[in-house]
Structure 1
Amino acid sequence: MLVSIDLNLLLEQIKATSLLEWIAVSFGVTEVLFAKKNNVLLYPAGIIGILCSGFLLVDAKLYAETLLHAYYLVMSIYGWAMWKNRTASGASSISRSTKKEQKITWAIAILGWGFLYFMLTNFTDSDVPIVDAFVSSTAWAGMWLLAKRKLENWIWLNVSNLIAIPLLFHKELILMSLLTLFLFVVAIFGYFDWKKELDQPNAKFATV
């Protein structure tokens, strides 16, 4: 009986979902499927989804998530340029993180968490500052690795996704929560797909 009530509530919340959230979710799905296929079109799809999601997150008072989406926007533009760059400074193929890049990734996650928590507790009315800051800082790290086409981006993004799922559900952003669950599953397959390509000798990894 309890399961039935919860399911009915979920269905009612989905029916009440705004058009903007539907659009954000649709482009979010498109983005992650392109990412799984190692296709540069993930970036234009992602930019549209980011802009739509930003308005929803402000309304839900998820300010760190909003800042995260602003970062996503910047990193999407940067990543788009990097993926299209065929020179040595670009990211035209999949690779693993170097030790230096791993240190930078951890620094982004840890320092970002502290910075965002400080900002949320001192300058906003956020009611979930610790969790909101953690979701955003780990996703910052993952997006930085994605822009550089590093295999480990999937791990960091899924750490963020795992915590974001219940957070978004708590904020009654039901479709975005379900989208994040979908992203979590796809990211698992994305990791193994990229790893398979990376382990193939003399493989062509870039898809444009």
Structure 2
Amino acid sequence: MQQLLQGIIDGLQQMTWIDVTAVLFGVVSVLCSRQNSVWVYPTGIISTVLIVYAYVQPGVGLYGEAALNVYYFIMSVYGWYHWTHRDRRHREVAISRTDGREMGIALAIALLGWGVIYLVLEHFSDSTVPVLDAFVSSTAWSGMWLLARRKIENWIFLNVSNFVAVPLLFYKAQPLYAFLTIFLFIVAVNGYFHWLKLYRLQLNENKS
């Protein structure tokens, strides 16, 4: 326990303005996501770019997490477009539930991604945590894909990723990002139920 606390203290002392800015924009982004606001994407893009830079620094070596944030960047651009895309009635894409096909794709992304990322990290990087790093990344990939499509179940995949990421980040002496992830976990639990409420309101409005 003493070693863990010392690692947290050391990590906080070593944090830079880049770390602080990345975390602040990450907090704003997840709050926008919870509120079903399209601002989740521009704020998220800024956060992910800074996080990638932080994770590839010497001594950190969270390459899977860095790759995950590159994926976040790509999906943020896609999600930004998809959320603001208008249908034939000029309405934004609405919140919806994940159907069987989409769930199958999400699970495939998580499982296949886990295997592929693990092999890459194990054989082509100096990562000391390839299994967990790959798992965190692949489950978050699925969550981000569902978020971009405005599916309620995105919160489930993202929180599976967050749950594993917290101890991993503490282990790698990244306490600021670990605390951010704890915050993300709490907001994601609340976000799931908030989106579920919004979805039910949409159904009632369509019936009326």
**TM-score normalised by structure 2 residue count:** 0.91
Change (3 A) 1:119 1:91: farther
Cα deviation, residue 197, structure 1: 1.1
Counterpart for residue 183 of structure 1: 184
Contact 1:91–1:147 under 8 Å retained in 2: no
Which shifted more, 62-71 or 46-55? 62-71
Structure 2 match to 1:95 = 96
Taking the aligned partners of 2:145 and 2:110, their CA distance within structure 1 comes to 10
Instruction: Tell me by how many angstroms 1:15 deviates.
Output: 3.7
Could you say if the C-alpha distance between residues 169 and 81 of structure 1 is closer, same or farther in structure 2, counting changes exceeding 3 Å?
A: same
Question: Deviation of residue 14 (structure 1)?
Answer: 2.1
Deviations 1:119-167 (A, max 9, x none): 1111111110000000000000000000000000000000000000011
Letter of the aligned partner of 1:198 in structure 2? Y
Deviates more, 1:21-30 or 1:59-68: 59-68
After TM superposition, the structure 1 = structure 2 runs for residues 1-208 of structure 1, keeping only pairs within 5 Å, are: 10-11=8-9, 13-59=11-57, 60-87=60-87, 92-200=93-201, 201-203=203-205
Contact in 1 for aligned 2:4/2:170 (Cα 8 Å): no
Deviation at 1:6, TM superposition (A): 6.3
Q: Distance in 1 between matches of 2:93 and 2:86?
A: 6
Q: Which amino acid aligns with 1:54?
A: V
**How far apart in 1 are the matches of 2:205 and 2:51?**
36
Task: Look up the equivalent residue of 2:104 and give its one-letter code.
Answer: K
Q: Deviations over 1:50-83 (max 9, x none)?
A: 0000011111111111111111110000000000
* Cα deviation 1:12-50 (Å, max 9, x = unaligned): 542432111001100000000000000000100000000
Report the RMSD for the aligned CA atoms in angstroms. Answer: 1.9
**TM-score, length basis structure 1:** 0.91
Cα distance between partner residues in 1 of 2:122 and 2:76:
28
Structure 2 segments unaligned to the other structure (5+ residues): none
Cα 1:185/1:203, change in 2 over 3 Å = farther
- Percent of pairs with identical residues: 47
Structure 1 Cα separation of the partners of residues 22 and 153 of structure 2 = 25
Q: Deviations over 1:68-114 (max 9, x none)?
A: 111111000000000000126x9611000010000000000000000
Q: Number of residue pairs matched?
A: 201
Q: Deviations over 1:162-207 (max 9, x none)?
A: 0000111111111000000000000000000000111223449xxx
CA distance in 1 between counterparts of 2:4 and 2:115 reads: 36
Query: Which amino acid in the other structure matches residue 153 of structure 2?
Result: E
